[in-house]
A and B are shown apart, each in its own frame.
Chain A
């Protein structure tokens, strides 16, 4: 089972947090912090698996993570998940995000938090992997965004906000988001082999 899915940027700011196990708020924050410190220490060219000690209370939990440009995608799983399987699941997740947002970047995750959650919900429910077929997920999400368009009005606003931030070179643009590599590059798959 997947116990948690965490996405944070290079500075440890959480961008997506989803726990599938009941934990107290402080514990969750502690897990995010410690996971970040564990992951940050690691080179990009060493293995993508980590034992996270007693972070979740037991000894058989693993962290499986990938690092894309400014973001870390970390899945905390127990021993009943296949490491390599999860590693590719992260890839599917990111590629799906990329398809849904057209060149996804960190800002998309912030401003469309709900949409990101919905995409995730199509893939993983209650800690179990439900769907791994990218086209299927995208189709589901698009069916729902059609609804959005039908409703129109306010829901279009977030995307406008993002494009505003993306396009204008505002001086007050958040300092720790590096515009230079704001796009999450979907890496060539062979790179992770």
Chain B
């Protein structure tokens, strides 16, 4: 608390200046006129005004009078309240009224309930988290939290959950924690909300109350439970693996909500607690992502949600749409997928635009997994393309963008271009142009450049040019493409009055300069003349002119003599633009020496690297000569500037930098026989904006992705292969006849019955959706099809084995063009007779373990017996931890080699296993790192070849040396070992390092594993003397202080220190009286110092470290061990 006072005092002087009573000119003065009527008249006069200017004048007047009013000592609190409302109004209109902030805080502090409420409101509207004044509010909040008046407590909690200074959280945290036990539901709810806020702004400070969150989740009032879901959603978003054990609870809650077990007032339009359902579905989505076991828990409830949400109301659609998204995100279940697909159909076909829009969005999301769904709805999609709502249209294009392939690209791009021409919104244009650019090529690019204009991102022309320059494997094709580009640009330049965007002109001139000589039937003179005329145009910016000039230079190098070149040289040698003049000079000198020019500008060498002598060593002789003649030695620019500054002649050098550089190089040209390389080098520094064009003939394109291939966008290429089949028969049983589209082959006999317009649309559809389905004549939504689709995405054989029964739902299509994978699937399902065993083994331990839940869980159960007591909801229990099947079939546990056995190490635990191989882990805590020792045991009777171990890149951890390890061969029934040293890169209390092992037995198999690492794995004691400690202590700046209660078992300092030493590996440096100092380090060498002091049953901890996050993390660990002991 003394902190609060201290900070308050430090802020005060700054505030005193802010409300100087004399500041406002006479103006209104603190008139006694009723404030309310003044608000009324203010509003009336504002709305009567016609211009922004008048409004500004009026508000300024109002603010002046308000300023006088609030700072007058005679102003009552009641009047102050009215002033606040007026201030809020002015702020809403965008007028700054900072003079009133301090008074808002005062009002919250001193007023009665009503005035306090307005005061708090004003504070929450005016101030932001880091505002200095907010510190002044802390005391008021603390006082109100302790008040016996519920309304005051409510107000305090409301303000805390809206805005609160981060560093003051410890001051109110215990008070708010108390409120979690309050008898009133509304108070508990707001307290949870406040804790959520704290979690957002300072997660480390609320780490120790995670179990309180759990209590809130189990609160007997559903409102409090709903509030706690915000926290859980956030926490699960950050680390979903840490909360898998709660899946069962969330599922149970959702089941009860869906089943209508909540009190009737939670219903909204007779839908039970829809927002709560939405929230829960989102949580489940995060938990079940890519996790079969967790997902299995929720299949039932999802199915029920889908079933229950049948009333035709907006909000049920909201639930449905969440449900569908969840189903498509979690580990796939074919039955649910089928239902979800139907549901999407309902959305897409709905006449309500909102639903249609969401349906399209869902389709866009789903289509990557299941392109067949688009085929079903192709007619609707076509209709949406002409929808009057541009938002729907844009979403449709987004959808088309996702299904683009080699065969439909032309039509889709055409559609996009049509939209582009209509659209006026800058955002839409930028967005769409990006997509088109990825999709199609020169002809389209021309249209893109001329329509998209200068809004086109610079990467796009760069990518385009890179593609042209680097070419493909086939030289002939390259030549053709380049010739085509040159010809199309020449044709475009033919039109004299055409206005092209700058970027487009730049692209044109680069291509003409580089490749125009490929076109033999056009006289270079003609091109030069064209470029010359472009140079004369006024709309061409100087940047573009430089591009054109470079093109001229390149072309000139390939012609013997040209009138146009001479003209250009003459014209620009005395141009006002220094860059242009520079280029003209260069061109002139170069054209006098054709051989040099040819060497300098070789044809088609834009991709070959050029070595630039950056030290300019070839000039050494020249420099020495100059120095010999008494010239001053060269001083770098900044040095000269410093000298000037020190002489108090602070001139602005900025504008001169440009001409300085060019004058150096032009002096190089005027006579002294400097190699032209120099002048080229320096001119690039002049022109740094022109990135794509350095060293005249080298295109600088490192770091630009290679996006283009000759058929278009490169990544698309792979997906195209194998799909380029004949158009398929499409049978869509679920759709009405009007929406069925027949393939071209079968269409002829039905054409007559279909109207012209319909036919057109169908044609469009068949061009758009061509190449989407994977095989002919198969029911698109067949179970087997969807199942295999999903497995294609996963292709983890071991999981499929557990999933065995699913494969029986339909025959596997071996004739499929992508058959190899499917046959593999089949093998997996047919070959191994031990699937059954496997499944059994997988079931067994779970049922065995159930009764013996671990202690913490049974703890929870006790508190849950009170759950929903008022509202006859069944008691729910958290399910047993999801990962309990491990270590069930362990033939033997490998042991550490002797040299490691002596070091402190963990137990050997199993990470994952399949029937061929098992992976074990042992953590060894060496002095300088965490050594992960991984054992791979071969369970088969054959040699396993090429076993690869790969760690994924983790945010928080760093694996020394390489993250991969390869075992060339593992003998039958033997164990191999590998070791990896790990450091913690970014501090976190808990983190996960994941990776995979893959091996080749009958088929290539991959096993995923993850290793949980905690901060404590990386903390080592740090030995030092008391003096060293003192020195280091003073040099460190990040400190964190916290008082924690000591339990009765360790209420003496030595006992507490012992606990810390043993459990946290801290080194006790010294103990003096009731104070102790400890030190530790985070590997490799980040120290953290701790100072402890006991007083009246409390242990005051004070951490210091050069790293700001480390003390927070350690504090959390300390709290944990002290609570445990």
Contacts and interface: CB of A to CB of B under 8 A. Distances in A.
**A and B from one complex:** yes
Contacts of A80: 233, 282
Nearest to B227: A130
A165 B47 CA distance: 13
A14 B114 contact: no
A85 B48 contact: no
Given A14-B93, A49-B391, A84 B315 contact: yes
A18 B121 CA distance: 11
A103 interface: no
B824 interface: no
B389 A17 contact: no
A92 B357 CA distance: 22
A48 B354 contact: yes
Contacts of B269: 189
Interface stretch (B38-46, B66-74, B412-420): B38-46
Given A46-B392, A155-B114, A84 B197 contact: no
A144 B117 CA distance: 10
A147 B118 contact: no
A76 B798 CA distance: 45
Contacts of A175: 47-48
A47 B353 contact: yes
Given A144-B151, A174-B47, A113 B317 contact: no
A28 B427 CA distance: 19
A161 B356 CA distance: 45
A154 interface: yes
Contacts of B37: 157, 161
A54 interface: yes
A85 B274 contact: yes
Contacts of B158: 121, 125
A148 B125 CA distance: 22
Contact of A47 (B36, B39, B391): B391
Contacts of B48: 172, 174-175
Contacts of B186: 140
Interface bin, chain A:
35 or more
B114 A133 contact: no
Contacts of B618: none
Contacts of B85: 113-114
A64 to B, nearest CB: 10
Interface string A154-193: 1101100100010000001111110000000000010011
Nearest to A49: B357
A128 B196 contact: yes
B357 A189 contact: no
Contacts of A50: 391
Given A47-B353, A85-B278, A174-B43, A125 B193 contact: yes
A114 B89 CA distance: 10
Interface string B811-850: 0000000000000000000000000000000000000000
A76 B129 CA distance: 20
A125 B354 contact: no
Interface string A111-134: 101100110010001101111110
A51 interface: yes
A87 B118 contact: no
Interface string B314-336: 11011001100000000000000
Contacts of A17: 92
B118 A114 contact: yes
Contacts of B132: none
B6 interface: no
A161 B321 contact: no
Given A111-B40, A147-B114, A175-B48, A47 B282 contact: no
Interface of B: 34-37, 39-40, 43-44, 47-48, 78, 82, 85, 88-89, 91-94, 96, 112-114, 117-118, 121, 125, 128-130, 151, 158, 161-163, 186, 189-190, 193, 196-197, 223, 227, 230, 233, 265-266, 268-269, 274-275, 278, 282, 312-315, 317-318, 321-322, 352-354, 356-358, 388-389, 391-392, 394, 425-427
21 contacts: A25-B96, A26-B94, A28-B94, A53-B426, A80-B233, A83-B318, A83-B354, A84-B358, A89-B275, A110-B43, A125-B193, A126-B196, A128-B196, A140-B186, A151-B112, A157-B36, A161-B37, A161-B39, A174-B43, A192-B354, A193-B312
